[in-house]
Amino acid sequence: MNTDPEELLSPQFDGSLTEELVSLIRNKPVGQADLDAMALFTLDGIANMLAGRRSVPGEKLLAYLKGKEGDTGRRALVMGGLTHILEVDDLHKASVVHPACVTIPAALAIAGDDMPTGPEFLKAILFGFEACTRVGMSVGKAHYKIWHNTATCGTFGGAMTAATLMGLTDAETVHALGNAGTQSAGLWEFLNTGAMSKHLHAGRGAEAGVVAAELAQLGFTGPPAILEGPQGLYAGACPDPDPDAVLRDPDAPWQVHLTSIKPWPSCRHTHPVIDAALELSGKIDVNDIESVDVAVYQASIDVCDRPVPESEYEAKFSVQHCVAISLLDGKCVFASFDPSGRERAAELRKSIAVRAGETYSNAYPKDWGGEVTVNLKDGASVTAARTACKGDPELALTRDEMVEKARDLLTFAAVNDVDAIIDGVLGMANGGPVPEIVI
């Protein structure tokens, strides 16, 4: 058996999925529109990361980093966790992956003193988005019942981003992806107690990618068939994988163009019915409500069926609360989930029944839909339905709306010069340098 690292690092993988994925990504043309889109998503991710500092989990993550700022893996972990805390980061529907929190932190951690150009930085993140979402589309629906895709598939995005910035060869990058994938983990059990593990999942996705890329640069080999091998990810954690999805539609737009931006600070599974409830809020008097029927897809129930949320975090993962507060207030903001918001919505939550709608379940994850029907005391009813909602590619936020969202987050983060960060990040698409981001 050949164990010479130099020979193992040569292109000899006989068409493994990760080898083909690296080839697909690195041979796909990148245009100005792709860099412009990536700059907006990078701005959103960085704004989320900085705003995440102002939270209890954020404070604990920053304490973990203190004195270890030179540790690239630890920096990636902390920045990834911070990006995912406030529940307003991006989401790629078809893969059920949050790409920004595993790719942007990896890029920031690797860039360090040897700063790339702005376009190089954005291109590396673009490649990472593509890697983790394509893997995410391949793991199948059943995987998500137990495993958190951002954690398990995010490692590939972190590794692809880091490998690109580090200038790794294709063969080295395959090894990085192999060792990133073998670190895949992240279980949904945290939801049962509201534990902070979800933020760790995002951080570990970024950290695992960085560590795997740094090791690959040193000749440390990884399994090329980490996805499809007989003891790989599909075999171990995916009852219904779709391996062809990794390489499907190679000429499709970059996946960043198919990624949603969250306009509301709650689990993305609640957004279709938030959108529907907001539409109805202006058409009814909440005092006239007799009951509310909500139809969603099964995955939304699996993650967000929480009639009596007892904390801010649980409320963000409660379809019942999100619908109730949206009907009551006609808006959904950070304060919607605080003790006052939870108390005001408590009575209306009791009247909300949630069920899985066959149409919505069958369409998921391509479409994340839902409907809200408000039954009034006089016997009348009104319904609003969504197959897509605000922030999805079909109903995308405008550039101005994305900049305004970032401005709000950066202001919440108490950043000294908000405009400098906004202008610096967006300027990368046109050749500007990578701005200094201090966490």
pTM of the model: 0.93
Q: How many CA atoms lie within 13 Å of 426's alpha carbon, on the beta-carbon side?
A: 15
**Tokens describing residue 340:** 């006052």
The answer to whether 411 and 404 are in contact (CB under 8 A) is no
> Over the stretch 96-125, which tens digit does the pLDDT of each residue have?
999 999 999 999 999 976 789 999 999 999
Q: What is the pLDDT of residue 112?
A: 73
Q: Residue 376, class by beta-carbon neighbours within 10 Å (0-12 exposed, 13-18 middle, 19+ buried)?
A: middle
**Tokens describing residue 331:** 């808006």
Q: Residue 282, class by beta-carbon neighbours within 10 Å (0-12 exposed, 13-18 middle, 19+ buried)?
A: exposed
Q: What is the pLDDT of residue 9?
A: 41
Q: How many CA atoms lie within 13 Å of 141's alpha carbon, on the beta-carbon side?
A: 11
Q: Which residues of the chain have pLDDT under 50?
A: 1-13
**Tokens describing residue 242:** 């779709």
Taking the CB of residue 30, how many other CB atoms lie within 10 A of it?
Answer: 14
Q: What is the pLDDT of residue 123?
A: 98
Nearest to 149 by CA among 57, 275, 245: 245
**Tokens describing residue 225:** 């068939």
Q: Residue 97, class by beta-carbon neighbours within 10 Å (0-12 exposed, 13-18 middle, 19+ buried)?
A: buried
**Tokens describing residue 24:** 């697909």
- The string of DSSP letters for 124-153 reads HHHHHHHHHHHHHHHS-TTHHHHB-HHHHT
C-alpha to C-alpha distance for 296 and 356, rounded to whole angstroms = 5
**Tokens describing residue 32:** 């100005």
The answer to whether 424 and 417 are in contact (CB under 8 A) is no
C-alpha to C-alpha distance for 396 and 93, rounded to whole angstroms = 13
Q: What is the pLDDT of residue 115?
A: 80
Q: What is the pLDDT of residue 14?
A: 61
Mean pLDDT of all residues belonging to the chain: 95
The answer to whether 24 and 410 are in contact (CB under 8 A) is no
Strand partners, 352: 292
CATH 1.10.4100.10 in the chain, residue ranges: 5-263+398-430
CATH 3.30.1330.120 in the chain, residue ranges: 268-386
The answer to whether 226 and 139 are in contact (CB under 8 A) is no
> Over the stretch 355-401, which tens digit does the pLDDT of each residue have?
999 999 999 999 999 999 999 999 999 999 999 999 999 999 999 99
Domain 5-263+398-430 carries which CATH code? 1.10.4100.10
C-alpha to C-alpha distance for 258 and 394, rounded to whole angstroms = 9
Classify domain 268-386 by CATH architecture.
2-Layer Sandwich (3.30)
Q: What is the pLDDT of residue 414?
A: 96
